[in-house]
Amino acid sequence: MLPASASPAAPRLPTGSTSSDSARNAAATPVRSATSSSTTSTRCFVVIRSSCVPVDRCRIRFRRCAVTFRVLGPLEVHDPAGRPVELGTGKSVTLLSALLRHANRWVSIEQLISTIWHEQAVPASAVRNLKTYVWRLRRTLGAARIDSRAGAYRIRLARGELDSDRARALLAAAGHVPPAEAAGLLTEAAELWRGRPYAELPESMVADLVTELDQLRWQVRERLAAALTAAGHHDEAAALLRELTTQDPLREGPQARLVLALHHAGRRAEALEAFRRARAELVTELGVEPGPELAAAHRAVLGAAPQLPAPAPHFTGRQAELARVAALLRAGRVLSVDGVRGVGKTALAVRAAHDLAAGFPDGRVLLNLRGHDVRGPLPVAEALARLLRAVGADVPADPAGRAAAWAAALAGRRVLVVLDDAACAAQVRPLLPAAGPAAALVTGSHPLPGLPALTLRPLPDRDAWRLLRAEVGAVAETEAAAAALRRCEGLPAAIRAASTLLLNGLLWTEGRLVTAGTYGSAA
């Protein structure tokens, strides 16, 4: 039997994370922003359903629920320590799957018997046998887990205990954090699938639900590919997009994104071949030429500069900072923007690059230098190769000649180069434009020696409130929102992370967040 702590109840909010938490999260999430710090910092704790989420600057990590029911593949139940619970085999497992299929809702005895003995002769002792199976599950999961009333049973789940709910929560949270963090959350969500959902139940009985969960998985993987691309992990994005386009070659969106991912990874020949294959599929199967998105991706490979990421939604404040950035860059200067994690350096740089489009008609290029990436900083030779490809220049085979080629490519051209997440001055200096009309904007955790610097501070209270209001609307007027805002320390990434969670119906009491209800409704 599971320990008492595993009974379905709202989880207690921790006061901090432990080293074991970090180890579990690192193992579960291979694609992760690696700008972690060993120093103690103030944290804002938020809750997605029943999952605790400490926001350490802009870093999000999910804690385990007391018990996890895994239905996205063969049925598994994990205890609070993450160990699998022995469920036995046969009809008890089928019964548990059937109850989980209708979690927090009453299921009639007749329906359960029909499911358990599907296409088999139903014995005269079926009702008695069913009671035995329920008794076994209660002994394993706890007596309070399964309710009964005349002619029906119901399993009680706290929000977030079902892996499919966890996948939805991770998907929602990923929409409100920086791309590297989103990639980590979406990787965790994608890894929840282990096979056909509700594998123990007859396929005909769960066809609609399986289709819904398959669509959820597709959405998670598409969003993961987009996050990887936005974070500069183009090779990883291309690998995932190949899987998606192989699974459904007639979807033009993933095909276009595959072409662009290969292009941004410097794999031009593969990008052109991916377009050729996609076009052949469309012409052969549907008799149509590529649509606007795929055609635009093809044009990008043929010579157009890669597009900047879209500006952060609800970008708030920073008018003085944007004005200083604009003044220096219009003069063809170089500026370094530094600040703590989550303060909005990349968002400011991208917004400035969009605002200055008219001043740089020869192109705007953004390159992630991976200063805090788990793979290590981007080597200078590779960075130069990517920049040369981005402006349509040839890449010398000898790395020693790339710096001169880069200087020649920028000579006399109004190009804005955004170098994001720089590791150090030694990495940046070979990438900066020489004298001329080109300009560069560099972001990093620390000022770079010898460069004009702008240190980005947390948002003042007024702008932090405006951002929260833009994200959550009327919810910003609640005490829960005010408490969340105080704990986010003016960091836009933390405010956006807290916003999506506040919209899930949270209550903030003094010192901790709790969900509004322990169980889902019993319909």
Per-residue pLDDT tens digits for 426-446: 999 999 998 788 999 999 999
Of the candidates 32, 43, 60, the residue with the CA atom closest to the CA atom of residue 372 = 32
Residues 347 and 448 in one domain: yes
- Whose tokens are 């004005």? That residue is 323
Pick from 302, 337, 357: which residue ends a domain? 302
Phi/psi for 260 (5° steps) reads: -70, -40
Check residue 243 and give its pLDDT.
Answer: 95
Token pair 């900083």 is at which residue?
Answer: 377
Collapsing DSSP to helix, strand or coil, 513 comes out as strand
Q: Is residue 416 part of a domain?
A: yes
The secondary element (H helix, E strand) that includes residue 272 is: helix 268-286
CATH classification of the domain holding 450:
3.40.50.300
Q: Which tens digit of pLDDT belongs to each residue from 287-317?
A: 999 998 998 888 877 754 445 777 888 899 9
- The pLDDT assigned to 66 comes to 67
384 lies in which domain range?
319-392+403-455
pLDDT of residue 244: 96
CA-wise closest residue to 438 among 399, 401, 391, 382: 391
Q: Is the pLDDT of residue 518 over 60?
A: no
> For position 281, which CATH number holds?
1.25.40.10
- Residue 81 makes CB contacts below 8 A (sequence gap 6+) with none
Reported as a pLDDT band with limits 50, 70 and 90, residue 210 is very high
Distance separating alpha carbons of residues 448 and 424, to the nearest angstrom: 7
Is the separation of the CB atoms in 501 and 48 below 8 Å?
A: yes
pTM for the full model? 0.50
The gap from C-alpha 66 to its chain's centroid, in whole angstroms, comes to 23
Rounded to 5 degrees, what are φ and ψ at 6?
Answer: -90, -5
Q: Model confidence over 459-470: pLDDT tens digits?
A: 999 999 889 888
Q: Are residues 372 and 445 in the same domain?
A: yes
CB 454 within 8 A of CB 324: yes
For a pLDDT cut of 90, what percent of the chain falls above it? 44
If one compares 406 and 310, the residue with the highest pLDDT of the two is 406
pLDDT of residue 503: 73
Write down the pLDDT at residue 232: 84
Q: Answer whether residue 148 is part of any domain.
A: no
Instruction: Tell me what the pLDDT averaged over the chain comes to.
Output: 80
Q: Which long-range contacts (CB under 8 A, 24 or more apart) does 36-39 make?
A: 37/341
**Whether 323 and 449 share a structural domain:** yes
DSSP 440-484: EEEEESSPPTTS-EEEPPPPPHHHHHHHHHHHHGGGGGSHHHHHH
Query: For residue 440, what pLDDT is reported?
Result: 94
Which residues partner with 56 through β-bridges? 59
- Asked whether residue 298 falls in the same domain as residue 387, the answer is no
Tokens of 31: 């694609």
Whether 433 and 386 share a structural domain: yes
Residue whose C-alpha is closest to residue 364's, from 342, 391, 382: 391
The more confident residue out of 521 and 146 is 146
Structure confidence at residue 99 (pLDDT): 94
Residue 83 pLDDT > 60, yes or no?
A: yes
| Over residues 48-67, mean pLDDT | 40
Given a cut of 70, is residue 255 above it in pLDDT? Answer: yes
- Is 200 inside any structural domain? no
| Domain contains 90 | no
pLDDT (0 to 100) of residue 414: 86
Strands of the 453-455 sheet, one edge to the other: 364-368, 416-422, 439-444, 334-338, 453-455
pLDDT of 47: 27
Integer Cα distance of 72 and 75 in angstroms: 8
- Confidence label for 278 from pLDDT (cuts 50, 70 and 90): very high
Residue range 182-186: average pLDDT? Answer: 93
pLDDT-wise least confident of 262-276, 405-419, 501-515: 501-515
23 pLDDT more than 60: no
* Cα–Cα distance, 142 to 154 (Å, whole number): 13
Tell me what pLDDT residue 505 has.
59
Does 246 share its domain with 296?
A: yes
Q: Number of folded domains in the chain?
A: 2
Whether 451 is in a domain gets the answer yes
Q: Tell whether 326 and 450 lie within a shared domain.
A: yes
For residues 389-393, give the mean pLDDT: 79
Q: Which of 53-57, 117-121, 403-407, 503-507 has the largest mean confidence?
A: 403-407
Measured over the CA atoms of residue 35, residue 460, residue 174 and residue 249, the dihedral's sign is negative
Residue 338 lies in a domain: yes
Radius of gyration of the chain from its Cα atoms, rounded to whole angstroms: 26
CA distance 285 to 269: 24
From residue 32, alpha-carbon distances to 178, 206, 238, 399 in Å are: 11, 34, 17, 29
Contact (Cβ atoms closer than 8 angstroms) between residue 369 and residue 420 = yes
- Indicate whether 221 pLDDT > 60: yes
H-assigned helices in 32-108: 91-101
Amino acid at 182: A
Residues 359 and 437 in one domain: yes
Asked whether residue 471 is domain-assigned, the answer is no
Q: Are residues 253 and 354 in the same domain?
A: no
Q: Are residue 342 and residue 408 in the same domain, yes or no?
A: yes
Residues 275 and 369 in one domain: no
Task: Tell me the per-residue pLDDT of 349-363, one tens digit each, with 9 for 90 and over.
Answer: 999 998 888 888 777
The torsion angles phi and psi of 337, rounded to 5 degrees, stand at: -110, 125
Q: What is the pLDDT of residue 68?
A: 86
486 domain residue, yes or no: no
Domain check: are 434 and 349 in the same one? yes
Looking at 302, 331, 346, the residue that finishes a domain is 302
Q: How far apart are CA 453 and CA 451, in angstroms?
A: 6
pLDDT tens-digit series, residues 90-132? 888 999 999 999 999 999 999 999 888 987 888 899 899 999 9
**Which residues partner with 500 through β-bridges?**
none
Q: Where among 417, 432, 455 does a domain terminate? A: 455
- Provide mean pLDDT across the span 260-265: 88
